A and B are shown apart, each in its own frame.
Chain A
């Protein structure tokens, strides 16, 4: 029986395809979103123009886009370095939140007189440690007991979320602002712990995030440790034969991934927010980071532009409401982009072609000779 198409796995996909899939995913998602907009009686051109204008149309708009992109770069790196090693850390959300909790804790505890540099470094590093600790709750059982990390990291997201809400909304913990009696909110961190802004609401945290992405790229592609990491990501067995301690590598990657997500939390606390507040941290930044990582095809450098794109979408949402279009349009687009991007991975890892009748005969011939 002849088939119309043959699908077979391929080794290396051509570079243009790796570029085409993410771009194609965005375009396909915009078409799908456009269909949605038209069905519900909106002018899709107006909507997309409004979004582009809000995200890139002015200096302030672009600054807001970069503000939104900053945590996404970090949660994107967090997802990418884990996924590349087949560590399914989908707990970026929880690691970000717990990072924010620890960072805010340190920021509240520090004395007002702490020198600025020390205070900022302490708060920022505290977030990374908090994120790594939260990741360890899933990483240690995975490495030493074989517990599947998909479910544990997912569940830890909600535990962290509820814990944060408990600290501010459900108790009189040090994280709660004693002066806010009407509506409970987070207590501001020490002023010297705040990362300075340099344009509009944009602060230096952006460069910390970009720096982390570049370091991740450098370590993975230019160092011996990164080389071992790539071997483990390709095949656990091959790595074991090469004498690499796989459990140690997996644990290290998992913790680094958590630290990156925690860093996103501390940069929010030390930067734009100035406190840990449940209402402003319940944003799905961890999950959006997974979209970023998938669309960037787990490449840390590509994460930077992709995070800016996703930041632009997040930033454009509220602007849509001013023209009477639900801001959920953004979520539809982001979800659709991820659906297309993950489906596109099929084209990257497989080759589809029509059966070649001549090649088919040529293949049959040696068999006939052997018989």
Chain B
């Protein structure tokens, strides 16, 4: 393979993988606390439109990111209330969030006399380091060739991993996800932990969505994110609920997403629709091979994932 083609593929793969990194790490935090949120697609899309809108109105990229973060977190609050306070079906509530979030995002994009749809973004995330650094072969672009959100995503991955596995609050989250009754007995406020982590997941999904509308495809379309929210849910399993692995699998699928284009350049004929199938197919195989029955622990699925928690006392 031609070296420049390889480099282009890697760089584009990292770009395409970045929203998946945000979404997947967010969902990992949520699921580690024992809550399954199938609303990632809706939260991402809502974050994408909020980020685009805020940047469109203010001209500021970081206000856009802030709006996306708040939008995603706000959307996730609905799910937190349904699944933690009301303890109704997390599955149905998550799907409801996806349908609602998608509707709201598409609606906002088309509403008003001068709708957002078709408009280019007022500002776009671009590489932050000077060209002198990126000119270094191979290492230059791979390390210095990215925009600020990609570096933010690295920081979030590192922070999330350190938080979950090396801090006391992180241990608390994992305890809540494994065995909420014991956690409660140890004096942990299960509801509070779950609320916080559902909203962290929503906030990160929101930023992931904004990465599409402010960096990857900096204009507004009905659905700039494709199926990224659903892919993120699949990647949580492939990453076995660990943030660093989320980074690698997200890049792997970013690269896979770019392969269509690469194969075209190299005149290799692989149908795009079959490549699109890959993340979902691999997630199922991983599910069946690695999480079935007693082996579930091997992957690290939180034991209390998706199960409503009732306190003993009333």
A109 to B38, CA, bound (A): 39
Q: Chain A's interface: helix, strand, loop or mixed, by majority?
A: helix
Interface segment out of the listed B55-63, B152-160, B226-234? B226-234
Interface segment out of the listed B82-90, B122-130, B141-149, B240-248? B82-90
Contact with B along A303-339 (1 / 0, CB 8 A): 0000000000000000000000010111111111011
Given A148-B291, A158-B277, A328-B106, verify A339-B97 contact (CB < 8 Å). yes
Report the number of A-B residue pairs with Cβ-Cβ less than 8 Å.
161
A158 to B92, CA, bound (A): 18
A208 at the interface (CB under 8 A from B): no
Whole-angstrom distance from the CB of A41 to the nearest CB of chain B? 7
Q: Which of A128-151 contact B (CB under 8 A)?
A: 137, 141, 145-148, 150-151
A23 at the interface (CB under 8 A from B): no
B91 at the interface (CB under 8 A from A): yes
A155 to B113, CA, bound (A): 39
Given A145-B288, A155-B280, A328-B106, verify A41-B272 contact (CB < 8 Å). no
Are B273 and A170 in contact, CB atoms less than 8 angstroms apart? yes
A197 to B280, CA, bound (A): 38
Are A162 and B273 in contact, CB atoms less than 8 angstroms apart? yes
Q: Which residues of A contact B137 (CB under 8 A)?
A: none
Q: Which residues of B contact A331 (CB under 8 A)?
A: 99-100, 102-103, 106-107
Are A339 and B271 in contact, CB atoms less than 8 angstroms apart? no
Whole-angstrom distance from the CB of A137 to the nearest CB of chain B? 8
Q: Which residues of A contact B276 (CB under 8 A)?
A: 158, 162, 165
Are A147 and B291 in contact, CB atoms less than 8 angstroms apart? yes
One of A159, A169, A171, A328 near B110 (C-beta < 8 A)? A328
Are A335 and B277 in contact, CB atoms less than 8 angstroms apart? no
A331 to B42, CA, bound (A): 11
Interface segment out of the listed A212-220, A244-252, A269-277, A340-348? A340-348
B1 at the interface (CB under 8 A from A): no
Given A342-B88, A342-B89, verify A165-B273 contact (CB < 8 Å). yes
Given A150-B306, A170-B272, verify A334-B103 contact (CB < 8 Å). yes
Q: Which residues of B contact A48 (CB under 8 A)?
A: none
Are B292 and A155 in contact, CB atoms less than 8 angstroms apart? no
A331 to B45, CA, bound (A): 13
A287 at the interface (CB under 8 A from B): yes
Are B89 and A345 in contact, CB atoms less than 8 angstroms apart? yes
Q: Which residues of A contact B110 (CB under 8 A)?
A: 326, 328
A44 at the interface (CB under 8 A from B): no
B208 at the interface (CB under 8 A from A): no
Q: Which residues of B contact A6 (CB under 8 A)?
A: 314
Are B106 and A171 in contact, CB atoms less than 8 angstroms apart? no
Are A147 and B86 in contact, CB atoms less than 8 angstroms apart? no
A343 to B87, CA, bound (A): 9
Whole-angstrom distance from the CB of B174 to the nearest CB of chain A? 19
A171 to B270, CA, bound (A): 10
Q: Which residues of A contact B89 (CB under 8 A)?
A: 342, 345
B304 at the interface (CB under 8 A from A): no
A101 at the interface (CB under 8 A from B): no
Q: Which of B31-46 contact A (CB under 8 A)?
A: 36, 38, 42
One of A8, A41, A151, A294 near B287 (C-beta < 8 A)? A151
Q: Give the 3 A-B residue pairs with the shortest CB-CB distance, closest first.
A: A335-B100, A331-B103, A170-B271
Name 17 interchain pairs, CB-CB below 8 A, sorted by A. Answer: A40-B107, A41-B111, A41-B112, A90-B95, A158-B277, A159-B280, A163-B277, A287-B95, A287-B98, A326-B107, A332-B107, A335-B42, A335-B104, A342-B82, A342-B89, A342-B92, A343-B82
